Amino acid sequence: MRVGVKLLVLLSVLCMAAAGSPWEVRKRAGLSRNDIAAARVDIADWPAEPESPGVVYPKRFARALLELCEKLPERLGQQYARWTLVAAREFDVDPFLIGAMIHRQSRCLNGVERFGGVGLTQLVPDLYAKDFKGQAYLYRTLQDGRLSQKVLPFPRFRFTRANIKGAESHLYLTAGLLRAWRDQAKAVHAFVPQEAHRHHVSHWVWGDQVESARQEDRILGDRRRLLEYYGSHVGPGPIYGFGLGLALHSPLDGAPRVISSGLGSEREGGERTHKGIDIESDMGEPVRSVSKGRVVFSGVDLPGHQNNLILPTGDTNTYPRDAMGSGGRYVCIAHGGMKDTGLRTCYMHLDRVFVKQGETVAGGHLIGTVGRSGIKQSAPHLHLEFRTRTEVLDPLLHLKGLVIGQPTMREDGKVVPHFKPIDH
């Protein structure tokens, strides 16, 4: 009997889908899919996202949000945190998701407007205006194969342009609309073709039709960072094994993180190959040592072949950008393990450096921040190298579960090896 009911429900849904969407498909204007970014990671590579704590303490949440939004004034961060918690509680949504959206969508700046989005979470008024009736939002859910009309009251703030621009009212409207997306996601998926994604926050970015899960990945990464800073989640690691004899930590918070370029990728039209991996990251993010060791280089890369300059941290951080080579500001750390060959990790393109040559660091120690020093065109990212005296190792292989991404492919379709001999 149950099988028959399930079959009828499925047929009902398929019939409705075949007849076309029963509402006008809402799309965010001006946003396009980046096929290169979409190919970097498969949806199956992601582990389950951590749960939020049942009780959230306002002061701790404010401190975590201020750590995520590193340049946000303290008073403003405390207000955003308080307004987020009140709104999230009213609509029964995750405050850590809203906090992540504040950072990812606007970099915590309320006046930002782009691609039709407005304010802290880049709320797109055109997606919702038609479905607001006074102080209520009308949407549809799918129950037992049938569409059901739902009415969600917004008693405290109306859906107006002024309220969308105001920070407190904006966060209130965001919380309510996230609740609606969570409730109606099944109905949207029954009628509108979707790119595979894990979370209803993708609809916040795209509207009814999700065309890529990559922005969702970045928002959820910021949510993991926020949970770590709050103290309710410990990221994966340290991990052991892989032949290195070391406990390895993630070089960035909120692991796992996605690599944007792998070992062996071509550079400068094929004149050289990539000696490490690039990890997607934001300007100013904390960079951490992957394991305990001693700082053997702290300074800047200079133009030319293998030129560098060791400097005190103050001089490194003020060294002129236009006088640097492609590595920019960077740090290298020598680690134990692999007694015959030794292991050295290097962290490049840093914005700021916090350690000096000769300093001993623990795994997870803060050594600098993500930047784009030495970079001419790319966005800020962390370039990470694993080296021994005889070869270049692939960090993607040794940091499994801490970084994820597709292996580098050569033009002939073969995977680039996970190690390369050192060019002498």
Distance between CA atoms of residues 243 and 231, nearest Å: 32
Give pLDDT, residue 376.
Answer: 85
Identity of the residue numbered 400:
K
CATH fit for domain 257-421, picks 2.70.70.10, 3.30.460.10, 2.60.120.260, 3.40.50.10490 = 2.70.70.10
Give pLDDT, residue 172.
Answer: 98
pLDDT per residue, tens digit, the chain (424 aa), is 334 433 333 444 444 444 457 889 999 988 999 888 888 888 999 999 999 999 999 999 999 999 999 999 999 999 999 999 999 999 999 999 999 999 999 999 999 999 999 999 999 999 999 999 999 999 999 988 899 999 999 999 999 999 999 999 999 999 999 999 999 999 999 999 999 999 999 999 999 999 999 999 999 999 999 999 999 999 998 988 666 778 999 999 999 999 988 765 544 444 445 578 999 999 999 999 999 999 999 999 999 876 899 999 999 999 999 999 989 999 999 997 655 558 899 999 999 999 999 999 999 999 999 999 999 888 999 999 998 888 888 898 889 899 998 755 444 445 444 333 333 2
H helices of 54-196, in order, are 58-68, 74-91, 95-106, 125-128, 161-165, 167-191
Give pLDDT, residue 242.
Answer: 61
Distance between CA atoms of residues 65 and 74, nearest Å: 10
Whole-structure pTM value:
0.89
What count of Cα atoms within 13 Å lies in the side-chain half-sphere of residue 346? 24
Distance between CA atoms of residues 194 and 182, nearest Å: 15
Considering the chain, tell me which residue range(s) the CATH 2.70.70.10 domain(s) occupy.
257-421
Give pLDDT, residue 411.
Answer: 45
Give pLDDT, residue 393.
Answer: 87
Considering the chain, tell me which residue range(s) the CATH 1.10.530 domain(s) occupy.
26-230
Distance between CA atoms of residues 361 and 6, nearest Å: 58
Identity of the residue numbered 276:
G
Pairing status of strand 419-421 against strand 366-370: unpaired
Candidates 238, 300, 252, 301; CA nearest to 280 is 252
Taking domain 26-230, whether its CATH number is 3.30.1490 is answered by: no
Distance between CA atoms of residues 334 and 373, nearest Å: 22
Give pLDDT, residue 306.
Answer: 66
